[in-house]
Amino acid sequence: MDKIIIEGQQRLSGTVDISGAKNAVLPIMTAALIADGETEISKVPNLKDTRTMIRLLEIIGAKCSFSDNNLKIDTKSVNNPEAPYDLVKTMRASFYVLGPLIARFGYVKVSLPGGCAWGPRPVDYHLKGLEKLGAKVTLKNGYIRAEADQLKGAEINFEYPSVGATGNILMASVLAKGTTIINNAAKEPEIVQLCQFLIKMGASIEGVGTTKIIVEGVSSLHSANIEVIPDRIEAGTFLIAGALLGELKLNNVIPSHLDSLASKLREVGCNLKTTNSSITIHPTDKLNAVDMTTDVFPGFATDLQAQWVALMATANGSSIIKDTVYHDRFSHVPELNRFGANIKVEKNTAFVRGVKSLVGAPVMSTDIRASASLIIAGLIAKGRTEISRVYHIDRGYEKIEEKFRSVGAKIYRESQ
């Protein structure tokens, strides 16, 4: 298994091009299944997760070709509406085939995703929503089967604005008969882009980007092309690294997607300058400790919580970091403490007491964003850090070592 090696405390400076968003492209790829034809998606990040989704689409019967961040999906021969356990267990986003396949075939069989490194992560909202649309949903041998001759529009009230459940119900409802109203829908930019793609395919959707989405069912969709929005979490990860380590300019970003992070970075003492499509961060040498609570968009993203904890590890003073989206998402904390950080976790809150400096250590990554926090800690720390299990980072960050190296970091990969 590969390791990432970092020699810390190098000043960073330069420009980084941000890739297309993982969490936007994955549902777009499955939405392509609703139509019969060829879809072309540009700015597709070359990640383990996008390659896993390509494999899944191929198992379902689609023909895919992927080169230079351009993905073509031909869905004419799609004939197998099933997502096997082997793929779903490596990537929960495989569950995004549920909505599109029941919409197109009236039948779908998807392995029930298990828990993950930070807790149970249920899919009950997806299933209850489908039942509301008239599907018969059963669980057998670890697989969810959903069937409906014709889905029917309904009013669905999510207890919590789940990103995945909003995406799945949207994709299921575009071909349902009549009107579907999704209350307490997710407003994340990735859901907005999914709506825009479905509209390009011929869907009728109102309330895009609000908590009330109204879908008027149509009889069929046609294929369409789209360019993936920039990855706000990758951008946020580089901004957090820049806060202490040097001036970084990020190209290919949508600054408004990063407002919550930007205002927190200003509170810690950094200066940020934005244009329409770039953000430049000027670091601070007196890092203030700043509390943070994650929330749904436009709040502070849970996918940047681990990186924020790493930044606060050497801040001046103590900070309290609460995750209201995923209550157990703190597997990075014991690893950050191996660098000499002083962090305690109680329930859904990390209490960080800033220390003078971190010292490099061998550490292990446990999920995508936890890995990113370990890279940030390794870049801040004195001496050598060795991060194992880096396959987690390869799921969600395109060429991360190359990008950090290009701005002056000493970071490389060792294949074992």
40-79: contacts with ligand EPU (CB under 6 A) = none
124 binds ligand EPU (CB under 6 A): yes
337-396: contacts with ligand EPU (CB under 6 A) = 368-369, 396
The CA-based dihedral angle spanning residues 330, 335, 340, 341, taken in that order and rounded to the nearest 10 degrees: -10
Judged by CB under 6 A, the residue of 107, 326, 351, 391 near ligand EPU is 326
Nearer to ligand EPU, 81 or 236 (CB): 236
Judged by CB under 6 A, the residue of 44, 111, 125, 397 near ligand EPU is 125
Please, what sign has the CA dihedral across residues 205, 206, 212, 214? negative
Judged by CB under 6 A, the residue of 35, 93, 240, 261 near ligand EPU is 93
Selection from 262, 315, 260 nearest residue 290 by Cα:
315
243-282: contacts with ligand EPU (CB under 6 A) = none
Nearer to ligand EPU, 164 or 246 (CB): 164
Nearer to ligand EPU, 164 or 360 (CB): 164
397 binds ligand EPU (CB under 6 A): no
Nearer to ligand EPU, 378 or 396 (CB): 396
Q: Residue 119: helix, strand or coil by DSSP?
A: strand
Q: To the nearest whole angstrom, how small is the minimum distance from the Cβ of residue 326 to ligand EPU? A: 5
Exposure string of 274-306, with b = 16+ CB inside 10 Å and e = fewer, is beeebbbbebbeebebbebebebbeebbbbbbb
Q: Which amino acid is at 169?
A: I
- Per-residue string for binding with ligand EPU, 178-197, x by CB under 6 A? ------------x-------
Selection from 214, 208, 153, 206 nearest residue 183 by Cα:
214
- Cβ neighbours, 10 Å, residue 321: 24
| Residue 64 appears among annotated catalytic residues | no
**CA distances (Å), origin 152, targets 36, 108, 194, 216:** 21, 16, 21, 10
CA separation for the pair 349, 322 (Å, rounded) = 4
Q: Residue 259: helix, strand or coil by DSSP?
A: helix
Judged by CB under 6 A, the residue of 26, 34, 88, 313 near ligand EPU is 26
- Cβ neighbours, 10 Å, residue 410: 15
Nearer to ligand EPU, 56 or 165 (CB): 165
- List of residues contacting ligand EPU (CB under 6 A): 23, 26, 93, 121-126, 160, 162-165, 190, 302-303, 325-326, 368-369, 396
